[in-house]
Chain A
C-alpha cells in the first residue's frame, strides 16, 4: 500500500523559505501515471491546493495565488518530491500535506501523507 511521508522544519522565520520533502514508499514516482501534489490546511483558509508536478518534473502546475513564491521539484532517484515556498509570512502557517494525484477522468488526491505542521514565527 502506497505511503507518503512529509518531512522538514516545523518552525520557519518570517521572510525565509519553507522547504519540505515528501518521501514516497515505492518507485511509482518514477512512472508517468500520476501527478504528485502539495496541499495545505490552515484555520483561515481550509484546504488549499498549492501545486502539482508530473512527468519527472517537466510539467508543474501552481496555484495562481502562490505561483510567484512556489517551486515543486522531484528527485526520482530518491523517490521523493519537494516543496519550496519563499518569503513566508504568518499566513503560511498550517499543516502541509503531500498526496498522489490521479485522473479517472476527474482529478482526485489519494493517498495523503500524515501532514506536517509548519509555524511561521520569529
Chain B
C-alpha cells in the first residue's frame, strides 16, 4: 500500500496571500510517460470532498486558476496563489496509480 503524507496538517492563511501544501508518497507516482498519478481534493466545511486537481497538475472543471498543482515522483505541491474565504476546508492528496488500493493523505486544514 502506498502511504501518502501531507504537511503541514494545519495552515492559517491571510486572504490575498499565497498558500502551499506538500504531499509525499512512499512510492513513485510517475509512469513511464511522465504522467503523475496524484490528485488533490478539497472538503469544505459540512460538504463532501470535491476534485480540484488530477494528474498532478490538471485543474478539474470549474476550478479557479488560483489553484495549481506541481511535482513529480514522490513529491507534490498544491499552491493557492491568492487565498479567498471560500478556500477554507481540508485539502487531501490521493494517489491514483493503476492498481488499488488507492490511498489518501491525512488532510491539511486551511483556516483564515
Contact = CB atoms under 8 A, between A and B. Distances in A.
Using C-beta atoms within 8 Å of the partner chain, give the interface range for chain A.
Answer: 20 to 34
A69 B36 CA distance: 32
A91 B56 CA distance: 32
Nearest to B92: A47
Contacts of B36: 106
B60 A106 contact: no
A49 B107 contact: no
Interface residues of B, number: 31
A46 B97 CA distance: 19
Contact of A113 (B41, B48, B103): B48
B104 A108 contact: no
The secondary-structure label for the interface of chain B is loop
A47 B97 contact: no
Interface in B40-68: 41, 47-51, 54-56, 58, 60
Contacts of A113: 48
21 contacts: A46-B92, A46-B104, A47-B49, A47-B92, A47-B94, A48-B104, A49-B103, A64-B1, A65-B101, A104-B58, A105-B37, A106-B35, A106-B38, A106-B54, A106-B55, A106-B56, A107-B39, A108-B39, A109-B49, A110-B50, A112-B49
Interface of B: 1, 31, 35-39, 41, 47-51, 54-56, 58, 60, 92, 94, 96-98, 100-107
Interface of A: 46-49, 52, 61-65, 97, 104-115
